[in-house]
Amino acid sequence: MPPAFANPVFALRADPVRIQLLPSTFDSNGHATPEQRLTCFLIDESVAVDAGSIALAVNGEQREKVRDIIVTHPHMDHIASLPIFIDDLFPTLKTPVRVHATPEVISSLERDIFNWNIYPRFSELENDFGRVMEYVPIPVGQEFEVAHLTVTAVAVNHIVPTVGLVISNGKTTVAFSSDTSETEEFWHLLNRAPSLQALLIEASFPDSMAQLAEVSRHFTPASLKRELSKLSHNELDILAVHIKPAYREIVIQELNALNIPGLGVMESGKIYEW
């Protein structure tokens, strides 16, 4: 037996992290379409960051494995199919789906979504095996564990309380901006991380819509460039996400014109490894 396999902890720590932006929509042949309407990232097939497309786009194996979902904020594009995901699994869940979110986001989910009106309050329901959903409050600014990952969440600058995330599997560290405009603490957190392999960052609107981007607290390529000057790491992959489908082509052109080393657009459905 090779020595690496003699120590399971070592083998686990040496694993790269695998991240997939789940597709939002599929063409008539069942292939993922590139437009991103909803936000859901799967990490190592078992932890989700946001749950926009989760119930629509996971395969059978992923549906059986994902039991931890970090919700960065309660906007519909980030939670749209969370209720359906839990509903699908309701009869068979042997352990609850854990929803990791700040207390403000948990309150909003309970008040506005799982309120017995829009959908059942799954946090109060049980199947034959026990509870089907539980909330795990996120301690903002402190490290916490989610499955095999270490996570730190800090507030970013969006229209509702929202967190950006730095996530590590012991070998690889990756950051998620979630939805934000000009912000500070997130960059301090990234700059404190000893190494950073990838940053998944939003670029919602084209430069011509800077005013709408500002009032709705999102980036354009130009404001993204200004923010990236706060990042002290280099040699990392920077993948733009959350591009509004109606402006996708122009936003991609403007991002390419920035000529920022390592900057690209994240492809939905593709599994990235770092």
Please answer whether residues 220 and 196 qualify as being in contact, where contact means their C-beta atoms are separated by less than 8 angstroms: no
Q: What is the closest distance, in whole angstroms, from the C-beta atom of residue 194 to Zn ion in the complex? A: 29
Helical spans, DSSP H, in the chain: 3-6, 8-13, 54-57, 60-65, 76-79, 82-89, 103-108, 185-192, 210-215, 221-228, 248-257
Q: Which is nearer to Zn ion, 93 or 156 (CB)?
A: 156
CA dihedral sign of residues 245, 151, 181, 240: negative
Q: What is the closest distance, in whole angstroms, from the C-beta atom of residue 17 to Zn ion in the complex? A: 23
| Cα separation, 77 vs 159, whole angstroms | 14
Q: Which is nearer to Zn ion, 197 or 223 (CB)?
A: 223
Q: What is the closest distance, in whole angstroms, from the C-beta atom of residue 216 to Zn ion in the complex? A: 8
Q: What is the closest distance, in whole angstroms, from the C-beta atom of residue 77 to Zn ion in the complex? A: 4
Please answer whether residues 159 and 139 qualify as being in contact, where contact means their C-beta atoms are separated by less than 8 angstroms: no
Please answer whether residues 24 and 52 qualify as being in contact, where contact means their C-beta atoms are separated by less than 8 angstroms: yes
Q: Which is nearer to Zn ion, 86 or 105 (CB)?
A: 105
Q: What is the closest distance, in whole angstroms, from the C-beta atom of residue 52 to Zn ion in the complex? A: 8
Q: Which is nearer to Zn ion, 77 or 227 (CB)?
A: 77
Q: Which is nearer to Zn ion, 77 or 104 (CB)?
A: 77
- What residues pair up with 49 in beta bridges, in sequence order? 41, 70
The residues binding Zn ion (CB under 5 A) are 75, 77, 179
